Amino acid sequence: MNKSKIKDILGDLPLTAELYWLLCRGGKPPVGGYSADKLKTALPRWVEQACAAQRPKTGKRVLIFTMLRYWVEHSAMTALALSALGHDVTLAYLPHAHWKKVDNRFDLRRQDLYLKDALKPLSGMVRTMSLLSAPQADSLPDELSSQLDASAYRDTQYSLLHEEIDVDSALYTRRYARDLRHASLILALLRREHFDAIALPNGSILEFGMTYKVAKYLNIPVTTYEFGEQSERIWMAQNEDVMRQDTSDLWNAKKDTPLTEKEWDHVKEFFSARQGGGLWENFARTWQNIESQGASKVREELGLDDRPLVLLPANVLGDSLTLGRHTFSKSMTEWMSRTIEFFAKRDDVQFVLRVHPGEGLGWGLSVYDILTEKFPDLPKNIHILRADAKINTYDLVNTADIGLVFTTTVGMEMAMIGLPVIVTGQTHYRGKGFTLEPDSWDEYFETLEKVISVPKDYAPSHEDVESAWTYAYRFFFEYPQPYPWHVQHFWEDEEIWSLEKVMSEEGLKKFEKTLGYLAGEKINW
């Protein structure tokens, strides 16, 4: 019998992992787990700082759910900050190191014991709770069980960074089983214990998504959060999936308030840097893999002529910002495929599809691979540019006549320079008044025909362009809330913003409102 089989048997036997931990304990994570040594070293210092800043108890019970190494580290700090503000905080977690690999039950139980030991310093300030062996509900109500297929489908899409997946695959089956189990145990927990508010990362995928769905079903206030490209900023949504980026409340509150001269200067400087391919202020990455070369240079490189140019800047395939965001198409990939078929019959128009530069950092298939396999022999009026193509997207924007987008923010930016933009996905700027938004295939192709015939007739008005700039300012500078620790560079941020500094007068002036939002206080736009 091989080692793996032995572990499978031991994983189902009571106390085997616990006995192994006691007898062979070396303080190290098991094979397939992850190290929490850095967290274990830092926690006593964080706890000491939280104790020193302790405020009177508020009586509010807050649950934070977390899993995966980077989120566990981040959530531990967030839990301490909320506890220092006087809230009764429970940090519930799963010890999984992966979301798409097969879990060896024996090693997973050992990882659980290892993580419990690492989190012990929290005990004086934060209640910790492993959910690995937590009791489960006997059954799920129809409202939750009916969402399992869609959840597993989206999880599999995200895991493979691919929109078209096999529901008979081992990965889909694994994700369905994990989502079912997690929904059952979270439902049991939330029925068993009372929480005034729940905070959790993402809220769209994996066990995070199931936690959100159960909280919504039980009408428990839930704040979902994620991080974008800005340091010291956090995206937040209350009783909504943050990855939907619903800016309706913000826009309704601010759309009629003109930008000040200073705000205009701020947003213009930002987009100048964004389009040029450079860094700007607290934005931690560039948006292009090459600096601007100018529109004429791009036209020369691609052999573009005077025919109208339609630009389709694609989203990153499988990103949780795009999954499930279709309106009339089955997916972003289907929409792009049918659009290529349309332009293959229109040699009076030039069409450029720019694959997102960020796809070069992913692990799945690229949009380029999928589309060039489907269309191996494209007519000369169609260009599909790879993720690593040394062409600045904004040079293409500045030479285009029409924009087609799924959910990418580049669509908003094309409207900002007065281009007619057709939006086909559920993006945050949909319905804001400066884009064209068909709701069916027939309407899409009808709109496309009209705009191609006379692009200028369908361009946004001067007032609409100004509205697009105003919205862009609100989205980039007011929608993200101030927050000290970004999950992608958490430890670097912790050196700048220690818990002691965050809880100081300076830190609270900057971050206290956001911490309050995580604890369920209503966001005030």
Residue 445 lies in a domain: yes
Which residue segment(s) compose the domain that 354 sits in?
A: 256-473
Q: Are residues 81 and 143 in the same domain?
A: yes
Residue 64 lies in a domain: yes
How far from chain centre, in Å, is Cα 216? 19
Classify strands 233-238 and 222-226 as parallel, antiparallel or unpaired: antiparallel
Side-chain-side CA neighbours of 458 within 13 Å: the count stands at 19
Q: Are residues 308 and 193 in the same domain?
A: no
Contact 63, 224 (CB under 8 A): no
Q: Are residues 34 and 70 in the same domain?
A: yes
Which residues, in sequence order, are bridge partners of residue 201?
225
For the chain, what is the domain count? 2
Q: Are residues 160 and 298 in the same domain?
A: no
Contact 29, 35 (CB under 8 A): yes
Q: What angle do CA 119, 96, 87 make, to 5 degrees?
A: 40
Residue 416 token pair: 């900002």
Rounded Cα gap, residues 174 and 148, in angstroms: 12
pLDDT at 26: 59
Q: Are residues 63 and 139 in the same domain?
A: yes
Rounded Cα gap, residues 14 and 133, in angstroms: 11
Tell me which residue has tokens 């990939």: 333
How far from chain centre, in Å, is Cα 162? 16
Rounded Cα gap, residues 13 and 106, in angstroms: 9
Q: Are residues 260 and 230 in the same domain?
A: no
Q: Are residues 457 and 505 in the same domain?
A: no
Residue 249 lies in a domain: no
Residue 228 token pair: 């974008």
Question: What are the phi and psi torsion angles at 433 (to 5°)?
Answer: 105, 0
Rounded Cα gap, residues 384 and 368, in angstroms: 7
Question: What are the phi and psi torsion angles at 135 (to 5°)?
Answer: -65, 150
Rounded Cα gap, residues 268 and 273, in angstroms: 9
Tell me which residue has tokens 């939002």: 517
Q: Are residues 228 and 367 in the same domain?
A: no
**15 CB-contact burial (10 Å; exposed 0-12 / middle 13-18 / buried 19+):** exposed
pLDDT averaged per 10 residues in sequence order, the chain, 525 residues: 52 57 65 91 97 96 98 98 98 95 87 94 96 96 97 95 92 97 98 98 96 98 95 96 95 95 92 61 44 78 93 88 90 96 96 87 76 93 92 90 96 95 97 97 98 96 96 96 97 98 97 98 94
Q: Are residues 232 and 266 in the same domain?
A: no
Among the listed residues 338, 339, 288, the one whose alpha carbon sits nearest the alpha carbon of residue 311: 339
Residues 6 or more apart whose Cβ sits within 8 Å of residue 245: 235, 237, 321, 427, 428, 479
Residue 5 lies in a domain: no
Rounded Cα gap, residues 72 and 205, in angstroms: 16
Helix (H) or strand (E) holding 494: helix 490-496
Residue 1 lies in a domain: no
Q: Are residues 378 and 511 in the same domain?
A: no
Tell me which residue has tokens 């304990």: 25
Rounded Cα gap, residues 25 and 189, in angstroms: 30
Q: Are residues 288 and 333 in the same domain?
A: yes
Residues 6 or more apart whose Cβ sits within 8 Å of residue 164: 331, 333
Tell me which residue has tokens 């980077």: 70
Residue 468 lies in a domain: yes
Residue 509 token pair: 């002036």
Residue 524 lies in a domain: no
Q: Domain of 447: which CATH number?
A: 3.40.50.2000
Q: What angle do CA 176, 326, 319 make, to 5 degrees?
A: 60
Contact 383, 352 (CB under 8 A): yes
Side-chain-side CA neighbours of 294 within 13 Å: the count stands at 3
Residue 327 lies in a domain: yes
Contact 185, 137 (CB under 8 A): yes
Buried b vs exposed e over 269-300: b needs ≥16 C-beta within 10 Å? ebbebbbebeeeeebbebbbbeebeebeebbe
pLDDT at 25: 57
Q: Are residues 206 and 315 in the same domain?
A: no
What is the DSSP-derived secondary structure letter of residue 27? Answer: S
The length of the chain, given as a count of residues: 525
Classify strands 421-423 and 402-405 as parallel, antiparallel or unpaired: parallel
Q: What angle do CA 326, 332, 338 make, to 5 degrees?
A: 110
Which residues, in sequence order, are bridge partners of residue 383?
352
Among the listed residues 212, 156, 205, the one whose alpha carbon sits nearest the alpha carbon of residue 186: 212
Sign for the pseudo-dihedral over CA of 476, 481, 482, 484: negative
Among the listed residues 26, 323, 9, the one whose alpha carbon sits nearest the alpha carbon of residue 160: 323
Most distant CA pair in the chain, distance: 78
Number of H helices, E strands in the chain: 21, 12
Among the listed residues 89, 94, 86, 113, the one whose alpha carbon sits nearest the alpha carbon of residue 20: 113
